[in-house]
Structure 1
Amino acid sequence: MTVTQSPVEAPAPPRPATRPPRGNRSNGQWNVDGTEPLNANEVWKQAEGGLAVRERIETVYAKEGFDAIPAEDLTGRFRWWGLYTQRKPGIDGGRTAQLSDDELSDKYFMLRVRTDGQALSPAALRVLGGISADFARGSADITDRQNLQYHWIAVEDVPEIWRRLESVGLETTTACGDTPRGFLGSPVAGIAADEIIDPTPVILEIKRRWIGDPELANLPRKFKTAITGHPSLDVVHEINDVSLVGVVHPELGPGYDLWVGGGLSTAPRLAERIGVFVSEERAAEVWHGVIQVFRDYGFRRLRNKARLKFLLADWGVGTFRAVLENEYLGYPLPDGPAPEPATSPGDHVGVHLQKDGNYYVGAAPVVGRVGGPVLTGLADLIEEVGAGRVRLTAHQKLVILDVPEAGVERLVTGLEDLGLTAQPSPFRRTTMACTGIEYCKLAIVDTKDTAAAAITELERRLADAVADGSLDTPILLNVNGCPNSCARIQTADIGLKGQIITVDGPDGPVQQPGFQVHLGGGLASSDRDEAGLGRTVRGLKVTAGELPDYVERVVRRFLADRAAGETFSSWAARADEGVLL
């Protein structure tokens, strides 16, 4: 399944004037079936919204402790404030599907802090680092949603954490739950020399008007947003519920192309262009219109069918556009051009010139892991070199902005001392991993440590291919601990889905942590001008221990077999199955 980046002259989708069908009561669509709850989650959400639990956290649970929290708050409403119970230590992956959430849950929380493409000042970095050191046992991970994620959070500490975050303009509001979650924004917004349009004003307006709004805090499921104006297409727009992507209309000038209905997990679907041009002045209200369509027409009866991608698949682009324009905006949107193919990698790693003569420097941690000392050390370093801000990326990286030319060399050296690098190996640069079994209750296998070990081993084994220049194209390696694809396995060159696999042992079959392999996926923000989901090969599974062996083997086969200029994804799509084993 692919979505091609169409040329500017591509025809717009049809625009039917009819309303969506009013069928029998079956899907729980509010504007079709009424608002009576059709499952247990809808019952408690309607009884009291998730936003209301903050007061109880501050006045009751933080004082009385974990055991005072009732189930509907603990496993439900807490998510509206970025809090999930983390996995109890010592439970192996084979028991993940056998135990209840209560049995899997520890009395500590994962806490997700949203950044929404916001630039983090040294003061903000010190606050984030202090929270890691004081309350999270040193943990802190950059996620592929530009969030910062902590572990080992006790409910007693949450009010103080909120106070510290809000002192530097950060929040956990609707970072999880059936809500508008954290936004992906271009890490180089406002400073890149080749930027089409700066998305910062649109993101700030949406946040000011609607984040924390009770009217948008009971959606059918999560709602993910991406907004960029950079030609690298750096916010993975094809896999978000709604995306605004910078384009230049031949008559109306710079603005946005609207994409709707992307999402991965166990039923992956790439977003589709709606075919409209959205001006900067109307971008916030168009976003508001799309999320209201989802709220009012999204499928609520079955949670595994409740994402916006299922509604778009049912309606089609034409009906969605008609409903958005006729029922929510009250005016037609002009047809518009599609984005051009990506001009550069969307992770922004390396040293790059800004439009004001300063530089921005993209750096890679190992699979997103940072921690308190790294964050506070980074704050000291950017002040030392005269830089002012840091943004997180959609690829578990970070970008330091406004670096004076005289400070670039010192910054690059100082990043290495912090365990970050602006000159990563191909494998460190392109490998991502989700939280995995260390903390996640859904996970089956370890991911962070497995991926980090694989990076080290692949750097050693394939050093010759890097040195002689034969490995001259990025190969994305994404490691996920379960089928839910938080690490975007279907859109990686090599995507690894965690599962328990059976292998032959000396005394018969044994079960081990391992991965199902997806090959040849990719998004337009990488080295290709076409997005597509990876293929699976029957029987292609590897144990965690075999992971470096497999990756080395398939990469060397690619280097031996590829045509001139061929990417890994193109090769993997055409290769015989036997070559991929």
Structure 2
Amino acid sequence: MNNHLKNPNHSLAVGRYNYDDIDHQFLKERINQFRSQITRRISGELSEDEFKPLRLMNGVYLQLHSYMLRVAIPYGILSSTMLRGLAYISQYYDRGYGHFTTRQNIQFHWIKLEEVPDILTHLASVEMHALQTSGNCIRNITSDEFAGLAQDEIIDPRVYAELMRQWSTVHPELTFLPRKFKIAISGSSNDRVAACFYDIGILTRLNSDNKPVFEVWVGGGLGRIPVKGKIIREDLPPEHLLAYVEAMIRVYNLHGNRNNLYKSRIKILVEGLGIDAYREQVEKEFATMDLDQYRLSDNLVAQIQQRFGRPNLENHPGASDVLEAHRAKDKEFDRWVRHNTHPHFHSDYIAAVVSLKEVGQTPGDASTEQMNALADFADEFAFGEIRVTHLQNVVLGHVQKDKLYELWQGLTKHRLATANLGLVTDIVCCPGMDYCALANARSIPVAKQIAALFEDIELQEKIGPVSIGIDGCINSCAHHHIMNIGVLGVDKKGEEFYQIKLGGSSYKEGASIGSILGAAVKAEEAVKAVQTLIHFYLEQRQENEHFIDTYRRLGTAPFKEIVYAVA
């Protein structure tokens, strides 16, 4: 028995789908198949070109210095056992840390190819895998990190994300799409998944009969050509979700551009056809389908829901009073509660958001020690459940309010109690040219330098909410296009330069793509430019204005003038 398996019996975990014998056997067969393929690659029987599509199907990338393994965290849910399994891999197969991504995955950047089958075996033992985290297929389906606990939730999106995961995994029609395909789903009409910037984004609302329906967006995306998606259906019954999504993808599979990598995403097809013409083709395809074959019946949905397990939430009279008493006595704890918690539907519980953005830390990284600590905290305070956010932080979702102070004290000891959610140091950052073969410039050092400028927490609070994303290439893994301040690394004759964008916003209400501020500048000038932009905002803002509000009121010109006057 591996020593990272604290719960070897795999009793029903809370908050995530629990595997059955079919799931375990499927992973075993896939690992054995890939083990044989790796053996053939190492022996030289397979060339790198022949091996590349095989390794990508199993989440293995060849980066600048080594292989990287991207592990799927479906809809961002981990059990404590799973997180300990990831910590074990970071300790024994990597360099003591893992990197959480904006796709609710985790990446290990220093992997040896010959050890990958053993790593995948460890993952399977804790009900995890790396399937379809790369390649021209449906990637890891993301969801709201507060799924199953948010006060405004209409349906539990994890159930439908799991149904789509099972449907899409090794689906013959969805394995060789024109390009990679990304889906996000939220159980609320309040967009917490950036739905309009996905290939397919799904939000939930109540119709006129007070029944849940899905609002479906299509054709969004970032990368080289950022596009805000369009609504294709406002009232899709949940029972028809799989059928309608498959109809959408069938049209894309038929007409998507397979000859030009830069024009292959569904956003290009939708823009080219127009949303009305694309919708007409999808509805025509949908009308030909046997809906009974695809129908998500109430019984099926209930069966999947049962496989998730439920936390035993009990009433704790006085829990809120205990929390407020601790807040009154401890200023730092009160600050952390204000910034790093989210309301729970049960009045005696609260969701705690753990920042992985301590100043000086690589955004999204968690050490072996921190992962093990978070697993322990999850067992003690949150029913053994951890959630990964698409902004590279983690959540302990079901914490008794009267236990929150004790949790915070524990987090503090492990450098996990940074109170900066949504503030200027809560920077989203890709691995950049420190790791990635696609990158044009480093992103991690720039993120750390910007964060260091604003380390003082009182200054961060004075600035208020502002989002910053830093990317090392145009692929936009850190979503720089839709951040209030986006920084993009570009190559100029072999030198690293940085382009700055302003005015992006990622959520449905007010969603926008940022505008380029001006000519790209060197790293030190980019860092100084961000500092200048923030201080100019503080001088210009009106009462209760956030950074994005001031920018939209003033426009790009004055921000550009102040930056390039001193750059």
TM-score, normalization by structure 2: 0.79
Residues 61 and 68 of structure 1 are in contact (CA less than 8 Å); yes or no, is this contact kept in structure 2? no
Farther off after superposition, 55-64 or 557-566: 55-64
190-199 or 302-311, which moves further after superposition?
A: 190-199
Code of the aligned partner of 1:76: P
Task: Find the counterpart in structure 1 of residue 285 from structure 2.
Answer: 327
1:180 and 1:216 in contact (8 A); partners too: yes
Higher fraction of strand:
1
**Equivalences for residues 384-423 of structure 1 within 5 A:** 384-385=380-381, 387-421=383-417, 423=419
Matches of 2:563 and 2:102, distance apart in 1:
27
1:489 corresponding residue in structure 2: 480
Q: CA deviation at 1:231?
A: 4.3
Q: Where do 4+ consecutive residues of structure 1 move more than 4 Å? A: 52-56, 66-69, 425-429
Give the letter aligned to residue 392 of structure 1: V
Q: Which residue of 2 aligns with 1:82?
A: 59
Q: How does 1:21-420 map to 2 (within 5 A)?
A: 57-62=34-39, 65=42, 69-88=46-65, 108-251=66-209, 253-330=211-288, 350-356=340-346, 357-366=348-357, 367-385=363-381, 387-420=383-416
**How far is 1:54 from its partner?**
5.9
Per-residue displacement from partner, 1:20-48 (whole Å, max 9, x unpaired)? xxxxxxxxxxxxxxxxxxxxxxxxxxxxx
Instruction: Check the 8 A contact 2:69/2:111 in 1, yes or no.
Output: yes
In the TM superposition, what whole-angstrom CA distance separates every residue of 1:188-207 from its partner, at most 9, and x where no partner exists? 11111221221122111112
Supply the distance in 1 between the matched residues of 2:421 and 2:344 (Cα, whole angstroms): 24
Asked if structure 2 preserves the Cα contact closer than 8 Å seen for 1:388 and 1:401, the reply is no
Partner residue in 2 for 1:533: 513
* Matching residue of 1:445: 441
- Looking at structure 1, the residues matched to 528 and 82 of structure 2 have their Cα atoms a distance apart, in angstroms, of 41
CA distance in 1, matches of 2:41, 2:505: 48
For 2:151 and 2:32, locate their aligned partners in 1 and report how far apart those are by CA, in whole Å: 45
- What stretches of structure 2 of length at least 5 have no aligned partner? 1-28, 292-337, 358-362
Is 2:455 aligned against 1:455?
no
Any unmatched runs of 5+ in structure 1?
Answer: 1-51, 89-107, 334-347, 503-510
Cα 1:569–1:58 shift into 2, 3 Å: same
- After TM superposition, give the deviation of residue 216 of structure 1 in Å: 1.1
Q: CA deviation at 1:68?
A: 5.3
Instruction: Give the whole-Å Cα distance in 1 for the aligned partners of 2:125 and 2:119.
Output: 10
Most deviating of 122-131 and 62-71: 62-71
What is the CA deviation profile of residues 366-409 of structure 1, one whole-angstrom value per residue up to 9, with x for unaligned ones? 21111322111211122233532011111111111221223211
| Alpha carbons 1:62, 1:155 under 8 Å: kept | no
What does residue 300 of structure 2 align with?
Answer: none
| Alignment CA distance shift 1:349-1:171 (3 Å) | farther
The one-character-per-residue Cα deviations of 1:349-372 (angstroms, maximum 9, x if unpaired) are 622332233221111102111132
Cα separation, 2, equivalents of 1:537 and 1:236: 23
1:519 and 2:498 matched: no
Bigger helix share: 2
Q: What fraction of aligned residue pairs are identical, expressed as a percent?
A: 26
Q: Could you tell me how far apart the structure 1 residues matched to 2:452 and 2:279 are?
A: 48
Amino acid at match of 2:518: R
Instruction: Note if 1:567 corresponds to 2:565.
Output: no
Which of 527, 541, 551 is equivalent to 2:530?
A: 551
**CA 1:428 to 1:171, structure 2 compared with 1: closer, same or farther past 3 Å?**
farther
How far, CA to CA, are the matches of 2:344 and 2:213 in structure 1? Answer: 21
The one-letter amino acid paired with 2:517 is V
3-state SS of 1:318 partner: helix
SS in structure 1 at match of 2:475:
coil
Contact 2:90 2:97 in 1 (8 A): yes
